[in-house]
């Protein structure tokens, strides 16, 4: 009887547990919790719009690389004048004949400890065209003046600010004739022998190397016949040269050489050495280094330049050097030497992936707009 009652009670409790909202025993599992389903994730309006904008941004940024990656296998031969005239499109694969001014190279580092690039201006372009050549010593040396690579606007390159700031803060020497210096006295543009036009101001430093026509230097090598300086001085006297021993440097003594100052011109000294048969000697000219400022140089009178207190006739001046800080023009171009279209093979897969992601989230954006912004239909 008790077993029958217990069975009835058990069946009643199980039936009650099957009713929605009925209490569940402590050690039992609520069947309603087992049947719960998570809601499907929804992409929000802001998230979808943000991803779409990012995809569009990177697709636009990759446009120059994508254009260069699709260039033909052979570079197009161009002239520097065409680049300066704006006839050549950026991100083209080109080869150009140019003469770089390696003494004006600016090193642009890609990262700390990296040799980076040497950014070099092209002669005769007034800093409107540059060559970005590898900065390490393992690259193939240029045996000709032909350079091929990717042509870009300097303003689009990551090292633009570094190159511009260095060029503006560090004056670079440029050289021109005395006539070019006088022509710049009435203006502000100094025409260099390289064909560049450089703006100069009164504070720029000026240097002139002046050859002394009445003096020369003899560098004599010791040998069995003339083993020391005394023997050389005697030989000079026999040859009609009045020489005195100059200040010998340790390197000259170690090399078995001596320097002698001669109060005669380079041509006269050379001729007398040849007549005397002193073939173990060579002759060099004596150069004076004179410095001043552009503002002081402009006060010079006609026919001669006043430099460092000395009046030097224009006819004796070979070149005038000016240390001028130069601002790179906004429309400057840079040729990335050595870059090839096949180096950018990865651009197309990235473009496809960004396009697919952008389309998916564009579809999610449309759904989010319909769900959150548009009124629901009755």
Domain-wise residue ranges, the chain: 2-34, 45-62+346-372, 76-170+329-344, 173-324
Q: What digits encode the pLDDT tens for the residues 56-97?
A: 999 999 999 998 988 877 888 999 999 988 888 888 899 999
C-alpha count within 13 angstroms, C-beta hemisphere, residue 301: 4
| Residue 188 DSSP class | S
pLDDT tens-digit map of 39-55: 777 788 899 999 999 99
Query: Is pLDDT above 90 for 303?
Result: no
236, 216, 212: which is closest to 226 by C-alpha? 236
Given CA atoms 155, 160, 161, 163 in this order, what sign does their dihedral have? negative
Q: Are 224 and 208 in contact (CB under 8 A)?
A: no
Question: What would the pLDDT profile of 87-104 be if each residue is shown by its tens digit?
Answer: 888 888 999 999 998 888
> Rounded to two decimals, what is the model's pTM?
0.68
Pairing of strands 243-245, 189-191: unpaired
Q: Is the pLDDT of residue 367 over 60?
A: yes
- How many degrees, rounded to 5, is the angle at CA 246 between CA 243 and CA 251? 135
Fold of 76-170+329-344: OB fold (Dihydrolipoamide Acetyltransferase, E2P) (2.40.50)
Residue 90 tokens, joined: 């950026």
CB-side neighbour CA atoms (13 Å) of 5? 2
pLDDT of residue 58: 95
Instruction: Give the pLDDT score at 19.
Output: 64
Q: Which residues contact 370 (CB under 8 A, 6 or more apart)?
A: none
3-state secondary structure of 164: helix
C-alpha separations of 204 from 151, 173, 312, 328 in Å? 33, 10, 20, 17
Phi, psi of 260 (to 5 degrees): -130, 135
Q: Taking residues 245-263, what's their average pLDDT?
A: 76
Position 25 confidence tier, pLDDT thresholds 50, 70, 90? confident
Q: Render pLDDT for 156-180 as a digit per residue (tens, 0 to 9).
A: 888 899 899 999 888 888 999 999 9
Helix intervals (H) in 92-145: none
């Amino acid at each position: 009887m008790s077993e029958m009652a217990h069975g009835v009670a058990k069946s009643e409790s199980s039936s009650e547990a099957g009713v929605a909202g009925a209490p569940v025993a402590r050690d039992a599992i609520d069947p309603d919790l087992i049947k719960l389903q998570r809601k499907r994730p929804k992409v929000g309006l802001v998230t979808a719009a943000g991803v779409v904008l990012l995809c569009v941004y990177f697709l636009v940024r990759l446009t120059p690389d994508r254009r260069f990656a699709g260039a033909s296998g052979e570079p197009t031969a161009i002239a520097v004048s065409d680049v300066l005239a704006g006839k050549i499109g950026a991100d083209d694969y080109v080869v150009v004949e140019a003469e770089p001014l390696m003494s004006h190279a600016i090193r642009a580092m890609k990262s700390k400890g990296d040799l980076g690039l040497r950014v070099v201006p092209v002669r005769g372009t007034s800093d409107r065209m540059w060559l970005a050549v590898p900065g390490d010593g393992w690259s193939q040396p240029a045996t000709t003046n032909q350079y091929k690579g990717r042509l870009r606007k300097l303003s689009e390159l990551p090292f633009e600010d570094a190159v511009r700031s260095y060029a503006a803060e560090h004056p670079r020497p440029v050289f021109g004739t005395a006539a070019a210096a006088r022509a710049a006295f009435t203006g502000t543009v100094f025409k260099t022998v390289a064909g560049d036009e450089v703006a100069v101001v009164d504070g720029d430093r000026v240097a002139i190397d002046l050859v002394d026509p009445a003096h020369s230097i003899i560098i004599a090598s010791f040998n069995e016949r003339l083993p020391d300086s005394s023997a050389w001085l005697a030989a000079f006297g026999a040859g009609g040269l009045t020489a005195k021993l100059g200040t010998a440097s340790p390197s000259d003594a170690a090399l078995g050489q001596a320097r002698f100052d001669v109060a005669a011109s380079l041509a006269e000294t050379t001729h007398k050495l040849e007549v005397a048969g002193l073939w173990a000697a060579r002759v060099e000219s004596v150069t004076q280094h004179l410095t001043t400022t552009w503002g002081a140089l402009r006060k010079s009178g006609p026919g001669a330049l006043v430099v460092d207190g000395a009046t030097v006739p224009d006819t004796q001046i070979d070149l005038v050097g000016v240390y001028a800080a130069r601002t790179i023009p906004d429309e400057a171009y840079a040729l990335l030497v050595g870059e090839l279209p096949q180096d950018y093979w990865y651009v197309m897969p990235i473009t496809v992936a960004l396009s697919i992601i952008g389309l998916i989230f564009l579809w999610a954006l449309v759904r989010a707009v319909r769900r959150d912004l548009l009124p629901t239909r009755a």
